[in-house]
Structures are given as C-alpha cells and as structure tokens.
Structure 1
Amino acid sequence: MAQEESSVSHSVLVGASPQEVFDLLADPRKHPIIDGSGTVRGELRAPDRLSEGAKFGMRMKRGVPYRITNRVVEWEENRRIAWRNLLPHRWRYELEPEGAGTLVIETYDYSRVLPGVLSRTRVPTENLNSIKATLHRLKAHFERG
C-alpha cells in the first residue's frame, strides 16, 4: 500500500493478461462485479466500451440511491484508465505485465480537491478500504474463470 497526502492506492497481482483486465475495466456494465465499496448498482447510460473522454452514468447507493456521471480522463489501452465525476478527484487503474499475470494498481487521487482538507477526513481511509476490496474481487473474478 502506498499512501500519500493526496492519494491512496493498493495493488494486487491478477492471473490475467493486461488486455483481459483492461477489457473488464473498460466495460462499465461489469463494474458492479468488482465494486468493493458496495455503492455501484449498475450502469445507467454507457457506451459498450469506454474510451478517452467517454461519459458513463452509474446507479449508486450510499445510504440513499443516486445517479452519477463519470468521464474518462486518462486512457492508455491495456495500461491505464481513470475517470472522474463532477468533482476533480480520480479513480485510476494502472496495469503492468508481470510474469503470466498483471499487477493492477488502483488509486484514489484527490490531489485536485483540497488534499490538505480531505486528508483530515475519513474519505481517504474509506476509499482505501474500498480499493482493497475491489482488487480482491477483481482477482477473484479472473481466478474463478
């Protein structure tokens, strides 16, 4: 785990190729499968496959149901994808080939959202816990077949 003042991240080695992992991340309909936060309920509006600049709506629930629109703000095929909503913080996945698998690094980057203020809240710790749970589910998804 790496924890900085403006981001939290965690990594896991997954028994799948970078392309297989990226294909899953680039399909918003599959995000509920790996969501470790328990908030993602399903896609609302989304292209079949995300791309740089693509927008996708998701049904969410944290206490009460709500909808959110995300936009892909970083994109490098089979290497990196990140999105954000109205606020400038980002959820980023970076993929590095490692042996027969892929090292997946997920980061919640809040460097653009008053990091000094946000780092004094529970948000970074809660998001780190969600990241760990998401990566566990991602790994299990590929290892189950």
Structure 2
Amino acid sequence: MTENTAPRIVVRRTVQAPASKVFTLLSDPARHAEIDGSGTVRAAVGTTPITTVGEVFVMEMHREARAAGADYRTDNHVVRLKPDRRIAWTTALVDDTPSGFFWEFELQLEDELTTEVVHTYDWSQVTDPAVLERVGFPLVSAAQMQATLDRLANAVA
C-alpha cells in the first residue's frame, strides 16, 4: 500500500521475519546499499551499527541528476530510535545542517514471525525555498521506496 501525499510518501509491506531481525538490518548502515531501491546508496563509511538517537552515520551516495556531481556523501542524524520498533534519520550533505527531510522505518508486529514495515519519506519540515528548489522533492518515488521494502523482505528471509 502507498500513501503519496506531498510532502510525504508512505509505503508498507508485510515481511516474513520477526521485528528484531528487520531492526538489526535497518540499524546497520553497512547493509543499507543492499536494500536501497532507489539506486542512490552506495556504501556506509564505517561499520558501526546505530544504537542511539543523536548518532551520525555517513553514507557514500550517487545521483545522476545531481547538479554538483554524481557522487557525494551524506551525514545521517538519527532522530528516532526504539529497538525493534522504529528508526529514523534526517539527512544532510557532510558537514552541513539537515534541511528538514527524514526517512523512517516503523515496525509493527503482526505475530512472532511477521512484521509490517511502514517506510516514510517526509520533507514537510523543509522550509528553505532555495533547498526546495535545488533538491527537487521528492528525491525518490513511491515505487523506489516499495522496491526498498521488497529488497528488505528478501534480505531478512
């Protein structure tokens, strides 16, 4: 199911895995390229799993349409974290201030071996008109986000 109401996209998928297994994968930035359905995530810089709000993890990224060049790095500031239930981060170019958009994965237990994953991309807090124009939200589509959930489901199967 997809909810596409700018300035937010929400997709859902039931995954045949316990929430703890899904959360372990999501909290490991080294595995984000494996599940990325947009083709923009290349690799984590470092291999430390996410354990607390306030942490920052760095990702190597690639985007063809990017005016400043195809390859870049992002700082990802963890803003929500509840083990086995929720993880979210806001993104900025390295050494820059986050502009107000975030990515979130919420895990809803259906039973011990089944988890509904709700993946949200929200840019409602972006208020700088220059950022809105330069970035061109949304950066990814609902279909790409759904592909992420499909890849996630395969990775934890």
TM-score (norm 1): 0.87
Instruction: Give the C-alpha shift of residue 52 in structure 1.
Output: 1.1
Give, in whole Å, the separation in 2 of the partners of 1:49 and 1:5.
29
> Counterpart of 1:124 in 2: which secondary structure?
coil
In the TM superposition, structure 1's runs of 4+ consecutive aligned residues that sit over 4 Å from their partners are none
**Aligned partner of 2:32: which letter?**
H
Partner of 1:124: 138
Structure 1: 5+ residue runs without aligned partners? none
Structure 2: 5+ residue runs without aligned partners? 65-69, 92-97
> Counterpart of 1:49 in 2: which secondary structure?
coil
Give, in whole Å, the separation in 1 of the partners of 2:124 and 2:141.
14
**Aligned partner of 1:93: which letter?**
F
Instruction: Give the C-alpha shift of residue 48 in structure 1.
Output: 3.2
> When the two structures are aligned, how many residues end up with a matched partner?
141
Partner of 2:39: 38
Instruction: Give the C-alpha shift of residue 141 in structure 1.
Output: 1.4
Does 1:93 find its partner at 2:99? no
Quick one: which of 67, 82, 96 aligns to 2:73?
67
Q: Deviations over 1:72-109 (max 9, x none)?
A: 00111111110012221000000000133100000001
**Aligned partner of 1:73: which letter?**
V
Partner of 1:109: 122
TM-score (norm 2): 0.81
Structure richer in helix, relative to its length: 1
Give, in whole Å, the separation in 1 of the partners of 2:40 and 2:108.
27
Cα 1:37–1:79 shift into 2, 3 Å: same
